[in-house]
Amino acid sequence: MKTMNIQRVFPYAIATIALLWLPTTLLAKDAEKPNIVIIFADDLGYADIGSYGGRNATPNLDRMASEGIRFTDFYVPSPVCSASRAALLTGSYNSRVGIQGALRPRSTIGLSLNETTIAEVLKKKEYATALIGKWHLGDHPESSPNNHGFDYYFGLPYSNDMRCKRDNSFLDCRRHPPLPLMQDSEILEKEPDQSLLTKRYTEAAMAFIERSRNSPFFLYLAHTFPHIPLYASESFAGKSSNGLYGDVVAEIDWSVGKILETIEKLGLDEKTLILFTSDNGPWRIYGNHAGECGSLRGAKGTVWECGVRVPFIARWKNRIPRGLVSREVAATIDILPTLTELAGENMPITEIDGKNILRLLYGEQGVKSPHEALYFYHGENELQAMRWNKWKLHFPYRYRRVIKTGMDGEKGMHEYSHTALELYDLEEDIQESKNVINLYPDVVKRMEEMARVKREELGDSLHNIVGTGQRPPGYFHYPWYTQLYWKAQKFSARIQYFFFGSHDYPWYKRLYWKVMSLFE
């Protein structure tokens, strides 16, 4: 009888233990999912942060670096807004997902709904998700961040200079619609006070963290600045030693400090990974309203080092050792696969290009970059350069070279220049000033072969190649009569702009440059 009782009771006992054990296991598993914060600056230079040798006061970012890890050789795959953001959020080269350059207002393309973003990966693991700040991957209602995995969206749909009224110009609202401040699909304000944007973004980010404290959350805080035109709030304007640009950077640093403070106050310090980087290098043509790259060559809009090498700092208390510096090559495309691993989710079913760099973040000794090479695209899907180990190879292409910088918000001047096939040793020549193409023919041959394979996969308009791995962007359409009205507005604005001048240059100078450009 006792045996019979044991036999009868045993299955129930096992079931009871399993039921007791299961919630505990699930809770433990949930506890292992870290909160994730990505802070993304706009046009911040490689040398704009104190820990990277910058002259701006950035105590909070410097604190992040001292309490975590900073990378010296961290890259974006394309040196312009939309292309860079597409790469960050999809873990893919922008050429793979069909996003080039900077999308204009009322664009009929955007990030395809078939692409998987970081937010969509994390939502599968029950993360609360928010984008606060700049989107710039399509402003059509269907291409809203809410359709790409973000529960909450507060910010601008594109760059802050794509606005209705530029200072001292005649363009009024015909070239661009009024700049909208969005909350999800609703326009909260038109032409908002830009001096308050950083503060409002920060307050919204803190509120999101507060209300998401009891579940894992993903916050993508994409600052509008230091993209031009620059604005700082009253608390920061005129306070730095580096003019208005320094004021703007100081306010972004303050924002970082408020995020850190909120996370610490809520006891989430050991549960939260915080990443900081920039979408590309500084817009140097704007002179004292642009950032710095130290000795790096080039600027935003070029694939020289200043255009594509960006600061990258990661902090996670008691998980990432303090004060680490990594000189391994990594890029923004690596963030999605790294966070996917952290969240315990499967990789997207579509092909991506990023690699898991979690072991690099943890500072494990002897761990090398997972990339064989990195590739840099610009223009209309032009493969312009690549990095392999310490070598940087530029292919022949045309680029803009700044010949005169502007002052106080005025744009300077550039001219077009051309590269040959050029090879640089970045360990010995970070300035990319000594072309050693003739000294290392075997290196060049190896890199050209890797580039040939990449062209077959992702295409290269410089060689009229369409890649087998390219995917189309999303196509979003407006009614024909709306498009006709907008085109009429733009045409009218261009006529007025050409004949009556602007705050940049008078009409006769622009006419001379247009004629001269025909002979380039």
Cα(41)–Cα(224) distance, integer angstroms: 7
- Which residues belong to the active site? 81, 136
Instruction: Provide the strand spans (E) within 178-263.
Output: 180-183, 186-190, 217-222
Cα(95)–Cα(384) distance, integer angstroms: 12
Cα(491)–Cα(369) distance, integer angstroms: 49
Q: How many H helices and E strands in the chain? A: 13, 20
Q: What is the 3-state secondary structure (H, E, C) of 319-365?
A: CCCCCEEECCCEEHHHHHHHHHHHHCCCCCCCCCCCCCCHHHHCCCC
For 415, the enclosing helix (H) or strand (E) is strand 413-418
Q: How many CB atoms lie under 10 A from the CB of residue 8?
A: 9
Residue 31 DSSP SS3 = helix
Distances (CA, A) of 470 to 117, 337, 373, 456: 17, 19, 19, 10
Strand order in the sheet with 391-394: 374-378, 382-388, 391-394, 422-425
Q: How far is CA 222 from the centre of its chain?
A: 8
- For the CA atoms of 249, 254, 256, 258, the dihedral, rounded to the nearest 10 degrees, stands at -160
